[in-house]
């Protein structure tokens, strides 16, 4: 597993950054050879998907050519957004993502569907040679994440996860901790929602505009309920990991990046037991502990050998972080700009799928410990639960026919 | 399920007291399962929740697991609905062993349940599960057969490979494609042969699956160290007749399989006219770790078109190998700006001490874009000799380059350069001097703060004082002790030349210690006007409200017009920090003479929340000069006041809508009114009891525990009228019961309806919620979420007269709140409802 390397401010300033980490890009994208714009399709055009689509439309390097959703009103609204932006009616609207991905003239897809669809659509797109930007939580299960990484690598595609907050919102923490403001970081608290659970919503007649079978896709069958298609699917295990993966991908993603643990995983996950472990506790091989809930800040709190952040006193809460360079987005325009840049240069994005998968796995393991109410031991290299075959069953879920990975 | 079926199982376990407890648990499971077998979505899910929890616990109990599994199997046999059977399959996924396999196998051919049977079988480790899936392969067709193939693939069932290989030629394209995928997952020489044989003449979609499967087989060969077999597959894909994404997959595979041997192939691809192949190949440059690779890639740079050079330079930068330094340095002198920029950027990763000076010179002389990149690279350079050469160059050479070098040592945190910087801070060149002073501000620590202040006492040019002031403030930001910040400044003030004193007085406002305040107060009486001016400005900017009364006195008595204004502004600012700001604003308003000063006070009043403040600002709504500020303040105060006095707040807001000429503020007022009206109807009168918790139990268990308020015959439950945490539409239970986690509160109210009628109950909760209407459970939702209005909607029937409504709101972690209102089934307002907390 990756060893934690504690980087002091001086280390950072004197030794510079690791050679594998690129500097901020300042080069105009036209220099990358091409007047060719990235042709992009948006799949999953509910609220979040359309939000992402709006960001895409702000990039002159990108031409959105298609949108897709199983809810026709979502699809029509997205098409109208695109057509309004370009002043024409060229954007094509689809119900079935397979029809979009089969188009040879599309370079990249933006996936904004509910979580249970992410892996299948992403892998299908990668297999067709497309680059992928996928909303977080990128995965519903651990095995999905590994399959996404393997497929992205197999085809040499660019695959960015979608947690914009890891850098965008939490870079103050990264600078403070990596800059040595609390000495050696030993503990982190991440305040996000809890795990998902079973869904017993009552049946409601399916409206004509909804392709319910396709919305469910790989998930176990159940009757329609409008909450699920209006973004209310997150509390339910068949479609999402709940708050643990929703804001968890942001919060844990931020904590793990700050601690330099974003390319590995915990070795032990202990659910709350009312005694020694009042909170879900992740233990890493280097002794660092990450807790679900608690802390004293908002979403993130850190404690190290020489202090903690956020500081408790009001004035220090506004403390200016050390002026150090931490590799982050390339290109212009946040996480999506990073993706656009990497599609052009074939570099790895900031939220490369390996890192996104590691964060999501961290969240999934927490969920499994919550669901089964027992501690888990985890091998972050083999990505296996140690000595608990029943718990291992939760690392994957057979998908409803005909859907599968790869 | 009939209880007698389970009885023999249960009877075996009733020997000891421990066994009695175990027996009780199985009995509870049996009871719950009886309710589950007729479950359909829309019915009470309580038994399902109980079963799921028991199954999780029983699965870890070696003595009970088998008996529990048997009970579930029997329930599966007697279940009468699809929903019940699906649920029971889920439980077998958790607890199932070889025991349940035959029962699940029967469901594999059932179109409605095949998936849920696989859902369990696909994850049961016993070989019997895979064998059952294999037996079902040829008993199914279409989608079901695809599902079986997928599950066999996930289990990598090699025994099934011949059967799956036969299905590659199925007339059902979805079956053929699933077979191709499965063969890739199972892998091995036989699978490759079958896939390759089927590839010729395959449809486009089947071909795509076969290609992917072959690539997966190649990966498996690599993992098994069968490099030649992998290479043969990759080489076939990396041929010009293949689609580009497969060519790239082939090339990447060759790079992984062959390592440095693949360098010529990468280079050839980088030189290819096809842009996608070129870019893809450049992306693979970082995958070859050999030192020689860097040299080989660097060598081709000059022969490439500019766009390819840019990407290759970035890739060389990512490799971080100094072997590329010479080629990258040469590229930094390219005639193409984009190439120069990429080279300058790459130098930050691969450059050496020589590159440091080149970067400094470029930063000093080149265009803005190159300057920016060169500076960033100079900061990042990691070569050990870089700091040494930068220190040596601070006080020699071209002045513009020296400025960049000083900037770089500051950015790199080169602390041992203080001596050179102190010298540079007295340099004849103004730019060098200023940059050196700035760098000192970045690099010196608290022990050297007095040296910096002493240097400021004897500036080469008085214009340098601003730079010294900024540098000292920069050091302050790194020193947490206020007294350590203030000490050298106070010491210097005693002997400082008059020209320097204003700067020192201003600096004292940062640490703002009592000693610093005394010194600033003394400076108010200084004979020098500039020192006095600095003292007034510093006091008016003081970070806390300690000098508020002095400022008020100054505002009243000063003969200096500027000082009067400054003092008044400082006083108004400090009012905002006060616990009783309204009284201070009233005093400030009495002193305010100019409209601008009055506007300032009105702006401050906007942050108050008292009726007195509202009254004060409303006086100015008819003043033409101050109307806009007064209206804005009115809206701000009313928005806060509405929590406590909605009627007064609404009256004030309506007054703003009626009188203000500013359309934006009018709209803001209307927005607040709309928001208040939008949340009308939320029930805010409740009796409450809680918090209820049990040690060691988390929220889900709390949710399912029947605490006394749920028991009709419970005694001693203390219901109290909820007064804390009552918002305009929501109830914050943390305010009422404290910030506890994993606990429940019960809330009770009653609703009077003029007639029996269908209504919609609109609930929002943080986190889980149950609702009873007239004693009947009408809603249950275990969830973990933030509060929002209308999160759960349910249609219920109100009886004529009074109806008892009871809620249980369970907190997981973090926030704890709820909201509730009753509307017409279509969401409209219900007339003539009354609510009271009894």
- All residues of chain B having their beta carbon less than 8 Å from the beta carbon of residue A323 are 411
Give B826 to chain A, closest Cα distance, Å.
Answer: 15
Q: Is A383 left (phi over 0), alpha (psi -120 to 50) or beta?
A: left
The model's pLDDT over B690-744, given as tens digits with 9 standing for 90+, comes to 999 988 787 888 999 999 999 878 888 999 988 888 877 789 898 888 777 889 9
> Considering CB atoms only, which of A27, A202, A402 is closest to B146?
A402
The answer to whether B376 contacts A200, with C-beta atoms less than 8 Å apart, is: no
Give A67 to chain B, closest Cα distance, Å.
Answer: 22
- B-interface mutation test, from A201, A343, A384, A390, most B Cβ less than 10 A away: A390
Of the pLDDT bands very low, low, confident and very high (cuts 50, 70, 90), residue A30 is low
Tokens of B59: 């699965």
Only one residue has tokens 């940062």, namely B510
Size of the A and B interface in Cβ pairs below 8 Å: 249
Burial of B79 (0-12, 13-18, 19+ CB in 10 A): buried
The answer to whether A26 contacts B372, with C-beta atoms less than 8 Å apart, is: yes
> Considering CB atoms only, which of A32, A272, A371 is closest to B307?
A32
Report the pLDDT averaged over residues B503-531: 95
In chain A the first and final C-alpha atoms are separated, in Å, by 26
Give contacts of B 392-421 with A, CB under 8 A. Answer: 411-414
> Considering CB atoms only, which of B212, B741, B814 is closest to A406?
B212
The answer to whether B413 contacts A13, with C-beta atoms less than 8 Å apart, is: yes
Check residue A3 and give its pLDDT.
28
Q: How far apart are CA B459 and CA B426, in angstroms?
A: 8
Contacts 24+ apart (CB under 8 A), B618-627: B618/B652, B618/B655, B621/B655, B621/B656, B621/B659, B621/B660, B622/B659, B625/B595, B626/B595, B626/B598, B626/B599, B626/B602, B627/B659, B627/B660, B627/B661, B627/B662
The answer to whether A393 contacts B741, with C-beta atoms less than 8 Å apart, is: no
Give the helix/strand (H/E) hosting B647: helix B646-659
Cβ atoms < 10 Å from Cβ of A310: 19
Check residue A314 and give its pLDDT.
61
The answer to whether B320 contacts A191, with C-beta atoms less than 8 Å apart, is: no
Q: How far apart are CA B732 and CA B738, in angstroms?
A: 10
| B761: nearest Cα among B791, B727, B738, B739 | B791
Q: How far apart are CA B309 and CA B302, in angstroms?
A: 8
Give B762 to chain A, closest Cα distance, Å.
Answer: 14
The answer to whether A191 contacts B814, with C-beta atoms less than 8 Å apart, is: yes
DSSP B12: T
Q: Are A192 and A244 in contact (CB under 8 A)?
A: yes
DSSP A25: P
Give contacts of B 524-583 with A, CB under 8 A. Answer: none
The answer to whether A198 contacts B45, with C-beta atoms less than 8 Å apart, is: yes
CATH code, residues A18-165 = 3.40.50.720
Q: Are B577 and A314 in contact (CB under 8 A)?
A: no
> Considering CB atoms only, which of B116, B373, B782 is closest to A197?
B782
Whether residue A12 is predicted with pLDDT greater than 60 in this model: the reply is no
B86 reaches A (C-beta below 8 A) = yes
Give A88 to chain B, closest Cα distance, Å.
Answer: 28
**Ramachandran angles phi, psi of B789, nearest 5°:** -70, 150
Tokens of A300: 């993130």
Give the Cα-Cα-Cα angle B720, B725, B729 (nearest 5 degrees): 105
Give B647 to chain A, closest Cα distance, Å.
Answer: 34
Smallest CA–CA distance from B313 into chain A, residue: A345
Give A20 to chain B, closest Cα distance, Å.
Answer: 5
B125 reaches A (C-beta below 8 A) = yes
- All residues of chain A having their beta carbon less than 8 Å from the beta carbon of residue B781 are 235
In chain B the first and final C-alpha atoms are separated, in Å, by 43
Q: Are B505 and B538 in contact (CB under 8 A)?
A: yes
- Pairing assessment for the beta strands B834-836 and A185-190 based on DSSP bridges: unpaired
Of the pLDDT bands very low, low, confident and very high (cuts 50, 70, 90), residue A163 is very high
Show me where the domains of chain A are located.
18-165
Whether residue A11 is predicted with pLDDT greater than 80 in this model: the reply is no
Residue A67 CA to its chain's centroid (Å): 21
Lowest mean pLDDT among A142-156, B538-552, B781-795: B781-795
Cis, bond preceding A64 (omega within 30 deg of 0): no
The answer to whether B812 contacts A193, with C-beta atoms less than 8 Å apart, is: yes
The answer to whether A223 contacts B380, with C-beta atoms less than 8 Å apart, is: no
Whether residue A278 is predicted with pLDDT greater than 80 in this model: the reply is yes
The answer to whether A10 contacts B413, with C-beta atoms less than 8 Å apart, is: yes
> Considering CB atoms only, which of B123, B216, B376 is closest to A406?
B216
> Considering CB atoms only, which of B41, B151, B178 is closest to A202?
B41
- B-interface mutation test, from A31, A130, A280, most B Cβ less than 10 A away: A31
Check residue A274 and give its pLDDT.
75
Tokens of A236: 């339910």
Q: What is the CA radius of gyration of chain B?
A: 39
Report the pLDDT averaged over residues B761-766: 90
Sheet holding A108-111, edge to edge: A92-94, A62-68, A38-43, A108-111, A131-134, A159-160
The model's pLDDT over B377-388, given as tens digits with 9 standing for 90+, comes to 999 898 678 999
Give the helix/strand (H/E) hosting A59: none
CATH code, residues B687-836 = 2.60.120
B695 reaches A (C-beta below 8 A) = yes
Helices (H), B760-807: none
The answer to whether B48 contacts A200, with C-beta atoms less than 8 Å apart, is: yes
Question: pTM (2 decimals)?
Answer: 0.73
Report the pLDDT averaged over residues B67-80: 97
Give B427 to chain A, closest Cα distance, Å.
Answer: 26
- Pairing assessment for the beta strands A38-43 and A62-68 based on DSSP bridges: parallel
Q: Are B250 and B266 in contact (CB under 8 A)?
A: no
CA dist B423 → B364, B435, B500 (Å): 21, 12, 21
- All residues of chain A having their beta carbon less than 8 Å from the beta carbon of residue B153 are 404
The answer to whether A398 contacts B151, with C-beta atoms less than 8 Å apart, is: yes
Whether residue B488 is predicted with pLDDT greater than 70 in this model: the reply is yes
Burial of A1 (0-12, 13-18, 19+ CB in 10 A): middle
Q: What is the CA radius of gyration of chain A?
A: 21
Of the pLDDT bands very low, low, confident and very high (cuts 50, 70, 90), residue B823 is confident
Burial of A11 (0-12, 13-18, 19+ CB in 10 A): middle
Comparison of pLDDT for B296 and B44, the residue scoring more: B296
- Rounded percentage of chain B residues whose pLDDT exceeds 70: 97
Q: How far apart are CA B771 and CA B790, in angstroms?
A: 14
Give contacts of B 426-445 with A, CB under 8 A. Answer: none
Give contacts of B 349-388 with A, CB under 8 A. Answer: 349-350, 369, 372-373, 376-377, 379-382, 387
Q: Per DSSP, which regions of B563-638 are E strands?
A: none
> Considering CB atoms only, which of A19, A401, A404 is closest to B144?
A401
CA-CA-CA-CA torsion sign (A99, A105, A106, A107): positive
Check residue B16 and give its pLDDT.
56
- CATH second-level architecture of B131-236? Alpha Horseshoe (1.25)
The answer to whether A325 contacts B219, with C-beta atoms less than 8 Å apart, is: no
The answer to whether B284 contacts A156, with C-beta atoms less than 8 Å apart, is: yes
- Rounded percentage of chain A residues whose pLDDT exceeds 90: 76
Report the pLDDT averaged over residues B531-539: 96
The answer to whether A346 contacts B122, with C-beta atoms less than 8 Å apart, is: no
Smallest CA–CA distance from B282 into chain A, residue: A346
Give contacts of A 205-264 with B, CB under 8 A. Answer: 220-223, 232, 234-235, 242-243
A191 reaches B (C-beta below 8 A) = yes
Check residue B221 and give its pLDDT.
98
Cis, bond preceding B33 (omega within 30 deg of 0): no
Tokens of A150: 């393997």
Report the pLDDT averaged over residues B678-687: 81
Check residue B409 and give its pLDDT.
93
Lowest mean pLDDT among A182-196, A251-265, A312-326, B453-467: A312-326
The answer to whether A390 contacts B59, with C-beta atoms less than 8 Å apart, is: yes
B323 reaches A (C-beta below 8 A) = no
Cβ atoms < 10 Å from Cβ of B581: 21
Q: How far apart are CA B792 and CA B798, in angstroms?
A: 18
- Pairing assessment for the beta strands B768-773 and B776-781 based on DSSP bridges: antiparallel
**Cβ partners under 8 Å of residue A335, min gap 6:** A160, A162, A163, A164, A167, A168, A329, A349, A350, A351
Check residue B643 and give its pLDDT.
59
DSSP-derived 3-state class of residue A111: strand
A155 reaches B (C-beta below 8 A) = yes
Give the helix/strand (H/E) hosting B804: strand B801-811
Whether residue B786 is predicted with pLDDT greater than 90 in this model: the reply is no
CA dist B826 → A224, B42, B617, B830, B832 (Å): 20, 20, 42, 10, 17
Q: How far apart are CA B492 and CA B525, in angstroms?
A: 18
| A94: nearest Cα among A120, A123, A64 | A64
Q: How far apart are CA B462 and CA B115, in angstroms?
A: 83
Helices (H), B168-262: 173-186, 189-199, 204-223, 227-237, 244-258
Q: Is B42 left (phi over 0), alpha (psi -120 to 50) or beta?
A: left
A384 reaches B (C-beta below 8 A) = no
Of the pLDDT bands very low, low, confident and very high (cuts 50, 70, 90), residue B674 is confident
Q: How far apart are CA B618 and CA A369, in angstroms?
A: 58
Give contacts of B 583-642 with A, CB under 8 A. Answer: none
- All residues of chain B having their beta carbon less than 8 Å from the beta carbon of residue A18 are 320
Smallest CA–CA distance from A406 into chain B, residue: B181
Q: What is the mean pLDDT of chain B?
A: 90
């Amino acid at each position: 597993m990756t060893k934690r390397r504690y980087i002091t401010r001086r280390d950072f300033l004197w030794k510079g950054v690791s050679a594998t980490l690129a500097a901020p890009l300042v080069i105009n994208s036209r220099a990358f050879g091409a007047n060719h714009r990235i042709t992009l399709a948006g799949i999953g055009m509910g609220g979040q998907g359309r939000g992402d689509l709006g960001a895409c439309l702000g990039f002159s390097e990108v031409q959105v050519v298609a949108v897709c959703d199983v809810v026709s009103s979502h699809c029509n609204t997205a098409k109208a957004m695109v057509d309004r932006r370009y002043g024409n009616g060229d954007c094509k609207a689809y119900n079935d993502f397979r029809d979009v991905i089969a188009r040879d003239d599309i370079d990249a897809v933006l996936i904004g569907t509910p979580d249970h669809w992410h892996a299948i659509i992403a892998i299908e797109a990668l297999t067709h040679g497309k680059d992928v930007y996928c909303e977080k939580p990128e995965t519903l299960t651990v095995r999905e994440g590994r399959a996404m990484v393997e497929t992205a690598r197999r085809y040499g595609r660019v695959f960015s996860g979608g947690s914009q907050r890891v850098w965008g919102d939490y870079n103050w923490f990264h600078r403070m901790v990596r800059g040595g403001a609390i000495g050696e970081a030993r503990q982190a608290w991440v305040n996000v929602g809890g795990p998902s659970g079973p869904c017993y919503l009552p049946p409601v007649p399916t409206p004509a505009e909804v392709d319910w079978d396709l919305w469910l896709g790989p998930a176990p069958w159940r009757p329609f309920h409008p909450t699920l298609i209006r973004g209310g699917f997150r509390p339910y295990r068949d479609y999402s990991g709940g708050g643990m993966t929703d804001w968890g991908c942001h919060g844990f993603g931020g904590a793990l990046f700050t601690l330099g643990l974003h390319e590995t995983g915990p070795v032990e996950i202990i659910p709350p037991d009312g005694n020694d472990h009042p909170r879900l506790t992740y233990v890493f091989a280097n002794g660092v502990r990450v807790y679900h809930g608690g802390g004293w800040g908002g979403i993130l709190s850190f404690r190290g050998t020489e202090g903690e952040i956020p500081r408790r006193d009001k004035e220090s809460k506004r403390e200016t972080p050390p002026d150090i360079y931490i590799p982050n987005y390339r290109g212009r325009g946040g996480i999506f700009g990073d993706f656009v840049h990497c599609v052009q240069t074939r570099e790895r994005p900031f939220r490369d799928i390996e890192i996104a998968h590691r964060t999501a796995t961290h969240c999934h393991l927490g969920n499994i410990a919550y669901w089964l109410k027992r501690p888990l031991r985890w091998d972050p290299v083999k990505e296996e639960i140690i000595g608990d075959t029943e718990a291992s069953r939760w690392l994957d879920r057979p998908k409803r026919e005909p859907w599968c990975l790869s | 399920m009939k209880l007698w079926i389970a009885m023999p199982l249960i009877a075996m376990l009733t020997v000891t007291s421990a066994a009695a407890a175990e027996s009780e648990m199985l009995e509870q499971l049996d009871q719950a399962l009886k309710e589950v077998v007729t479950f359909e979505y829309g019915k009470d899910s309580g038994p399902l929740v109980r079963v799921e929890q028991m199954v999780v616990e029983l699965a870890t109990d070696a003595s009970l697991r088998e008996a529990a599994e048997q009970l579930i199997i029997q329930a599966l046999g007697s279940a009468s609905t699809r929903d019940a059977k699906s649920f029971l399959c889920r439980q077998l996924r958790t607890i199932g062993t070889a025991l349940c396999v035959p029962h699940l196998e029967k469901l594999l051919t059932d179109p409605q349940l095949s998936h849920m049977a696989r859902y369990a079988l696909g994850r049961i480790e016993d070989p019997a599960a895979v064998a059952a899936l294999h037996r079902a392969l040829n008993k199914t067709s279409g989608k079901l057969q695809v599902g079986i193939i997928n599950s066999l693939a996930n289990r990598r069932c090699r025994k099934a490979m011949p059967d799956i290989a036969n299905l590659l030629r199925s007339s059902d394209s979805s079956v053929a494609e699933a077979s191709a995928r499965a063969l890739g997952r199972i892998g091995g020489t036989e699978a490759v042969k079958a896939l390759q044989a089927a590839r010729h003449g395959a449809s486009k979609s089947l071909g795509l699956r076969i290609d992917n499967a072959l690539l997966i087989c190649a990966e498996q060969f690599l993992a098994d160290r069968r490099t030649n077999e992998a290479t043969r597959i990759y080489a076939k894909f990396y041929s010009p007749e293949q689609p580009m994404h497969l060519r790239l997959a082939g090339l990447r595979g060759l790079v992984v399989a062959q390592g440095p041997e693949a360098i010529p192939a990468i280079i050839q691809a980088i030189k290819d006219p096809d842009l996608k192949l070129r870019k893809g190949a450049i992306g693979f440059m970082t995958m070859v770790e050999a030192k020689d690779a860097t040299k080989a890639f660097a060598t081709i740079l000059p022969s490439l078109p500019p766009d390819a050079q840019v990407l290759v330079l970035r890739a060389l930068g990512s490799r971080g190998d100094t072997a590329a330094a010479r080629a990258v340095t040469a590229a930094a002198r390219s005639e193409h700006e984009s190439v120069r920029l990429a080279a300058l950027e790459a130098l930050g990763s691969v450059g050496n001490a020589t590159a440091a000076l080149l970067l400094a010179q470029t930063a000093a002389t080149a265009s803005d874009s190159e300057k920016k990149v060169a500076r960033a690279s100079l900061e990042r350079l990691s070569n050990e000799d870089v700091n040494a050469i930068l220190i040596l160059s601070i006080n020699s050479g071209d002045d513009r380059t020296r400025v960049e070098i000083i900037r770089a040592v500051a950015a790199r945190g080169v602390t041992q350069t203080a001596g050179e910087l102190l010298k540079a801070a007295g340099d004849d060149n103004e730019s060098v001097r200023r940059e050196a002073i700035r760098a000192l501000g970045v690099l010196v620590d608290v022990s050297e703060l007095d040296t910096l202040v002493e240097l400021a006492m004897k500036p080469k040019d008085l214009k340098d004082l601003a730079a010294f002031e900024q540098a000292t403030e920069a050091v302050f930001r790194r020193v947490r002790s206020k007294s350590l910040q203030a000490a050298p400044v106070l010491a210097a003030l005693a002997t400082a030349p008059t020209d320097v004193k204003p700067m020192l007085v201003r600096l004292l406002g940062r640490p703002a210690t009592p000693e610093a305040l005394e010194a600033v107060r003394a400076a108010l009486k200084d004979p020098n006007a500039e020192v006095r001016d600095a003292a007034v400005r510093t006091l008016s900017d003081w970070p806390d409200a300690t000098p508020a009364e002095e400022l008020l006195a100054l505002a009243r008595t000063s003969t200096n017009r500027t000082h009067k204004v400054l003092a008044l502004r400082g006083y108004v600012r400090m009012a905002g920090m006060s616990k009783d700001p309204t009284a201070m604003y009233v005093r400030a308003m009495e002193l305010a003479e100019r409209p601008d000063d009055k506007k300032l006070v009105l702006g401050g009043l906007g942050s108050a929340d008292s009726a007195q403040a509202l009254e004060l600002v409303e006086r100015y709504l008819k003043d033409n000069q101050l109307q806009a500020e007064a209206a804005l303040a009115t809206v701000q105060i009313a928005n806060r006041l509405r929590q406590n006095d909605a009627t007064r707040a609404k009256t004030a807001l309506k007054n703003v809508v009626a009188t203000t000429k500013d359309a934006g503020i009018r709209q803001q007022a209307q927005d607040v009114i709309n928001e208040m009206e939008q949340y009308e109807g939320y029930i805010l009168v409740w009796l409450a009891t809680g918090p209820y918790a049990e040690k060691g139990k988390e929220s889900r268990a709390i949710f399912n525990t029947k605490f006394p308020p749920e028991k009709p015959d419970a005694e001693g439950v203390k219901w109290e009228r909820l007064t804390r945490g009552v918002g305009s539409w929501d109830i914050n239970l943390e305010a009422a019961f404290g910030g506890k986690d994993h606990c429940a509160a019960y809330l009770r109210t009653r609703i009077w309806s003029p007639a029996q009628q269908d209504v919609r109950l609109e609930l929002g909760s943080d986190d889980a919620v149950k609702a009873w209407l007239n004693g009947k459970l009408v809603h249950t939702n275990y969830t973990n979420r933030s509060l929002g209005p209308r999160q759960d909607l349910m249609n219920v029937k109100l009886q004529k007269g009074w109806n008892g409504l009871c809620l249980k709101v369970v907190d997981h972690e973090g926030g704890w709140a709820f909201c509730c209102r009753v509307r017409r089934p279509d969401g409209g307002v219900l007339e003539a409802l009354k609510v009271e907390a009894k």
